[in-house]
Structure formats: C-alpha cells, structure tokens
Structure 1
Amino acid sequence: MASPIGAQGTLVVKTDSAGASIPIHISEPAGVTSENLSLSTWGASFILANCLHTFALPSSQIDQSGRDGSSAQPWMLELGAGTGLVGLAAAAIWGAKVTLTDLPGILPGLAANISLNELLLHKHAGSASCGSLDWTDPSTLRLQQDERSTGPDTVESSDAKPSVILAADTIYSEDHPEMLSRTIMTWLVSGPESRAILCYPLRMAYIDHVRKFWELMEAGGFECVEEGREKGGEEWNELAHTPYEWCVWRWKANV
C-alpha cells in the first residue's frame, strides 16, 4: 500500500546484488489526485524498483553506449507511474530514457519528482519525462511540456514504441486486466526481445483480476519468461500475509 515517507523523502534502491544502491528522492504533495486516489508511492513500486537489477534483459534493451557519452538510449515506458519511483530507478540503473505516464491529474507530481532526481539521472546517463496515457484509448501519449521542451507534445503508438514497459500495482479493478493488457499490446515494440515487467500485491480481493490479466496476455501473444514473489516490509502497511508478485513478459517468437 502507500509509502511511509510522508510529504517528501528518499527511498534507497538496490542497483546490484553486492549491495550498491542509489537514492531516489520522492515528493508526495497534498492535493495531487486522480480518480479519488492521492499521489502516493505504493509497496509494489518499491519492490519492483529493487528487483530491476536482477532482471536479465536482452543486451539490445540496454544500450551501454549511453553511458559513454553517446546520445543513444533505449526508450522505456512506465504505466500508472504514480510518483515515478520505478521509472526513475530504471532510468538510472539501465541508463535509459524513460517516459513516466499516468492520468493528467498526477502529472504535476511526476514532473516534480523528475526534477528532484535530475542530477542522479544525469550521473547515470539516464533521462526521464512524463505524460498522460488513457488506457481506454491508448494509442496517443500526451507529453507534459515545460519551458525547456523542444519536441512534439504527442507520440502515436504507430510512430514509436518502447522496448520495455514497466507497471507496478496497476491491477485493482475488474476493468484493469483488459485495459492494461491492451495498452501493453498497443505500445510494446514487436519481437521476442521486448519486455513488459510488472509487480502487484496478491491481495485476495484482486486475485481474479490478476488471473484475468494473465489469460489476456497469453491470448494476446505473450509468454511469461520470469516470475517470482517478494515480501514487503511492514512500513508499507500491507497485511503481513500479502506477498508481492512480479512477472516479466515477452512477445512469443512467432508473433
């Protein structure tokens, strides 16, 4: 559930199995809401951010040239980003260009957290932007603009697609399995080396929604290549017996 950091704090995210880590600065200002949910960092985001370094992404999805001063960066997309913890961690850990997406009411909070972590992202050859993406009509990504923006204000899925999609705690209503799976299918670039990486708490009330999501992904041409479960700390206010499940999906080779 929601984070224990209060209005603003720092979450430490692991970057390798030896114990190295990075600090991600997160603000959760009051008044930033959408669909009756206040801006907050959820336990699944913290779990997924700390698992990113363990995933064996194909080398084509992590262009190391970005770390050597080249402008080349793999493009990744976070769905239902909330405060952006997962996407910001991915940008730093993988030296990637990550677009954090959520509903329009959440974008001011996302933009603020990108600004808080600009120096960290620059140090690790990553970058982040944010925009709104309507899962009921997911073909158009509307980018948040500021005084420094120079590119287009929209991106169409028919023109550009990310190689990695990230999502944490985005399955908590009966509508989400269909909307989320359709959005992933709309945006993830085709080919068996692309990845969709998700994490969610296995709350009893939403188990059927998770099963439906898996069914829709498999029916849509995806296969799960990695999965696992983690326990969250009590500070995230989840029930003690609630595990978090993560899963990594790719397009089947014949799709």
Structure 2
Amino acid sequence: MGASTTDVLPNLSLAPSFDILHSALKNLTIAPVTWNEDGTGPNPAENDEKVVNKFLLSVVSNELAWHTEEQRETIHELASERISERCGRTAAPEMTRTWMITATSSLLELGFAIKEPRITEDNLGFKTWGTAYALSKQLEQIGQRCLKYMVGSLKQDRGSALAAGMSANPNTRVLELGSGTGLVGIAVAAVWGVDVLLTDLPNIIDNLQYNVDQNSATVSSNGGSIKCKVLDWKNEEHAAQTIGDQTFEIVVAADPMYDDDHPLLVANMIAKYLKEEKTSAALVAVPMRDKNTKAMYRDFVDMMRERDMQLKDQGGINFMDDWGTAGDEGVECWWSIWGWDVPWVTPALS
C-alpha cells in the first residue's frame, strides 16, 4: 500500500516553495462524487482528515511572507477550496462532474459533463440530484419496457437517421419540467434519440444553457437534439408565450416536488403539455426521502387522476446522494409512467 497524502504534507515552518505548496493542495482535492463504478480521484479515506484539516487551517491563517502577493492569494484560495470541499455539498465551490452511463448491447457508453455552480438555499436547481443520475441510468430499460412505440429505435438502427442529420425518433418530442442542471433531459435526448426541450426558472436557465451547449455534440451523435427555455409553472401567461400551444409526446420530471404547491403545479403542467393521444406518456421520478415527500407524491397521484391521467407502469430505484452525510444507506426513488385512458395501477408506496 502506498503512502497517503498526509505523509508528505509540507511543513510551513520550513518555508516551502510555491510549487511544493501548490502541488500539496492540488493533491488534497476531493473529486466530485458521481457514484460511477469506475470513478477515480483522491479518496479522503486514505488520508487522516484531522491532519489534513489542521494543515489547511494553518495555511489559510499563515501570512506566507516568503511568497509574492500573487502567490499568497493563489495558495490561500486553494486551501479555502479544499476546506469547502470538506464541509458538505452546500459549501462546495463550483464544480463540473462527468456522469457516465454504461454501454449495453444497444447503446454505447455515454458521458455527460455537467457544471454545477455553488448552490444556495434559493438555487437548489444548481445541484445534480441523485434522482437525476439514478433515472438517467434506467432510461434505456424504461424506454424499451414502457415507451417502445415512441423510442424504439435502438443504437444499431440509428445509422440511416444520423446520416440524414435527423433525430433517431423524429416523431417523438419530449418536454422536461424543472431540468435543473440538465442531466436527465440531456440523457433522455441521447439514450432515446429524441428532441428534448429542457425548461426551468430564469435564475437557472443560464447554467442549463451552458450544459446543453457542452453536451450537444454527444446528443446529436446519438440521434437526439436539445434546447432549453424558461418555464415558470406559476406564470401561465409567460408559459404561453415561451411554449405556446405546443404539446409533447412525452413529458419528463425528475425530483420536481419539494414544496407543498408543487404536486398541483406539476400535475397542471403535465396535463397542459402532454399530447392528448393514447400513446403519449409522462415519466415522473420522485425520491421517497421522508414523510413529506411521500405525502406530496400521494397528492400528485390524486391530482393526476382528477385530470384524467392514469398510472400505466412504475418501478423503484435505490440511489445514493451527496446531499447528506457519508454513510447514508441510500434513498428509494419511485418512477411512474402516466398516460391518457390506460388501465389504473395502484401505487405501491411504503
């Protein structure tokens, strides 16, 4: 077993050079978690974090008088970033995480680079939630199980469409509600080979557009296309201006409910924008984090039934998130497929 990073931390009393300090602080970086099976990056478990934290605090509190002003600013900034990384996701600086979807017999391996700005209580859409990644990895299975009539074009069947510069499934348009950082909508476009409109609030849209631009080549190479627009669920007049009277064959919403009024708003948006055809479907994924989340989902179920929407299929996914503390056992997420005039299935909630 090799030496841990803490075995080679510089001693500040010896006035280490800028290069030595810079390298040591870079080596203490905690790589953003994406829960990839083959993920790489520094493992904080290999280090004595008490020693690391003591070292980082000593750096930020030291005047570093033997360095230039520019060097001192750089070292202090790096040390502050390392401290932030160890204070939980809400304190973490801006990051870009690459989320991988494993190759299958019909789909090549996919990777999506998603930028997440520093999040605040008012901007939870700047975090890629565990639900998004869990659902993205299940999209191929869900598509073939529940939506094959709309996303049935598998990877090996997409050649002619790609050669003609078309979507693999040009007759299927998808609307995503509350896209956040965009992982689910981007993955939907690539995995299903469809046109996806990602939407969110005005304060989220710039980062969402950035991620759409960064991943558009990957999406188009797999027969899909992506764009984004502002959609405020509470402002029907503005929604009419941005979306117009468009309807979509599929509506997707992942982890869209974290306030009491959201079940009604999500149900309204689905009923408004889901095309009124038997084959149309809404895919909704809700994590069952606590009693409040489960209650909101039950309210959502009732409101969907009131709008003549019925449950077509459902399933569960267990996933990890980095919102809580290390050692969490995971969260159970229920995904459900809703449509017009389909047999009712009683939701199975614990």
TM range (shorter): 0.7 to 0.9
User: In percent, how many aligned pairs have the same letter?
Assistant: 28
SS of the aligned residue for 2:297 comes to: helix
Indicate whether 1:252 and 2:347 are aligned: no
Partner of 2:285: 199
Q: Which residue among 165, 186, 203 is the counterpart of 2:251?
A: 165
State how far apart, in whole Å, the 2-side matches of 1:207 and 1:253 are.
24
Deviation string 1:34-68 (CA, Å, 9 cap, x unpaired) is 84435110011111111110123142455767445
The number of residues matched between the two structures is: 239
Which residue identity lines up with residue 117 of structure 2 in the other structure? P
Which residue identity lines up with residue 190 of structure 1 in the other structure? E
Give the superposition deviation at 1:192.
Answer: 1.5
Residues 230/38 of structure 1: CA separation in 2 closer, same or farther (3 Å cut): closer
Give the superposition deviation at 1:202.
Answer: 0.2
Residues 225/17 of structure 1: CA separation in 2 closer, same or farther (3 Å cut): farther
Q: Which residue among 98, 118, 121 is the counterpart of 2:216?
A: 118
State how far apart, in whole Å, the 2-side matches of 1:62 and 1:19 are.
12
Deviation string 1:3-27 (CA, Å, 9 cap, x unpaired) is 8356002001246477853101111
What are structure 2's unaligned runs of at least 5 residues?
A: 1-31, 35-93, 344-350
State how far apart, in whole Å, the 2-side matches of 1:62 and 1:104 are.
34
Give the superposition deviation at 1:137.
Answer: 3.2
Q: What are the residue-to-residue correspondences of 1:65-214 with 2, within 5 Å?
A: 66-69=161-164, 71=166, 73=170, 74-138=172-236, 140-141=238-239, 154-156=242-244, 158=245, 160-204=246-290, 205-214=292-301
SS of the aligned residue for 1:172 comes to: coil
Residues 75/211 of structure 1: CA separation in 2 closer, same or farther (3 Å cut): same
State how far apart, in whole Å, the 1-side matches of 2:280 and 2:113 are.
29
Residues 241/94 of structure 1: CA separation in 2 closer, same or farther (3 Å cut): closer
State how far apart, in whole Å, the 1-side matches of 2:104 and 2:308 are.
32
Q: More strand per residue: 1 or 2? A: 1
Indicate whether 1:242 and 2:331 are aligned: yes
Which one scores higher on RCO, CA 8 angstroms, separation ≥ 6?
A: 1
Residues 197/17 of structure 1: CA separation in 2 closer, same or farther (3 Å cut): farther
Q: More helix per residue: 1 or 2? A: 2
Partner of 1:230: 317
What are structure 1's unaligned runs of at least 5 residues?
A: 143-152
State how far apart, in whole Å, the 1-side matches of 2:304 and 2:110 are.
33
Which residue identity lines up with residue 43 of structure 1 in the other structure? G
SS of the aligned residue for 1:136 comes to: coil
CA contact (8 A) 2:130 2:321 kept: no
Partner of 1:28: 116
Which residue identity lines up with residue 133 of structure 1 in the other structure? L
State how far apart, in whole Å, the 1-side matches of 2:125 and 2:248 are.
28
Residues 135/22 of structure 1: CA separation in 2 closer, same or farther (3 Å cut): same
SS of the aligned residue for 1:88 comes to: helix
